[in-house]
Amino acid sequence: MKIKEFINEFEKIIPARQAEDFDNVGLLCGNQEREISGILIAHDALESVVDEAIEKNFNVILCFHPIIFSGLKSITGKNYVERAVLKALENKIAIYAIHTAFDNDYFGVNYKICEALDLKNQKILMPKQNQLKKLEIYVPVDSAEKLKDALFEAGAGNIGFYDECSFSISGNGTFRPLEGSNPVTGTQNERENANEVLLSVIFEDYKKHQILFAMKQNHPYEEVAYQLISLENENQYTGLGRFGDLEREMDVADFLKSVKEKFNLNVIRHNSLTQKKIKRVGVLGGSGASGIKSAISAKCDAYLTGDVKYHDFFSGEDKMLICDIGHFESEQFVTQQLFEILSEKFTTFAIAKTTIKTNPVNYFI
């Protein structure tokens, strides 16, 4: 399988285009025309990870964090980013990053954190805004099913755990072909009455081009009558963070002890201990202080994330326990998740998790 073929199939599972706008995901370096000899999964594509790929004769590194985040003006090996990229290029190794595409995924980073905490009734903490669109198309009755199937195949009508969702209204349409037209039915300069269907489907914005292409390829008319409508509905199945409820409420001290054990932590940084019990818990893997207000709005009793700054701890306002469990520690399940996804889907090349510890933070106990 070529790298570009792998990317095409992999992004059907975790679409790169659902990443945050600021992020740098996808194929960061490498020739996508090369055949894959093996994929090494890592949290960070450091130089030591590239060395491991070379040793294993793997030519693809699938990493969580993008080693290239901002623009590189040169690649001379003067810092850890350039050294990793330079060695990858010299040894014909491709690097592909997923980062916030996996953060935003319904079964991504935050899903696994909630699973580790055994949270029930899970929901997205910060659902994607302004992402959904509705397509309305007028199509002849006898062509409606063919067009509908093509739109579904292109990704339209997928809503949460349902697919092939649409709505149709039958009616009568009119048009008059003018000079220069080549109508499927009707005569130039004469009004035509046609039995048509108004077909509606909803889709995520990043699928727009493929869906419009499928529409035009499978519509019989020379000029397709359609409209795109931006929806204000939140996408309840894509977004950052997650929250859910414990089976039973816990004292704060017992909750912190449980978190420390389940995540194998050396330390938990937290704000002042509240007197309330812990029942609803919010999570956001990585640097998640931006989700504190959303967690409070969701009536979370506790919030787990990483990279919380001094002043962020005040944001709890004695309403919510804020726990900084560490950036890497909150994302620690990612490589195993990706290993399981790839092992189930791809069987024609070797897949392995790195043995290199890439967490740069250490604790003196």
Provide the annotated binding site for a divalent metal cation: 65, 103, 327, 331
Neighbouring-strand partners of residue 363 = none
> Amino acid identity of 127?
P
Strand order, beta sheet including 120-128: 120-128, 235-250, 278-287, 302-306, 321-324, 269-270
Are the CB atoms for 29 and 89 separated by under 8 Å? Answer: yes
Q: Where are the alpha helices (DSSP H) in the chain?
A: 3-13, 47-56, 80-90, 99-103, 109-117, 144-153, 208-217, 252-262, 292-297, 327-330, 334-345
Residue ranges for the known binding site are: 65, 103, 327, 331
> Amino acid identity of 358?
T
Q: Spell out where 114-206 has E strands.
A: 120-128, 132-140, 167-175, 192-204
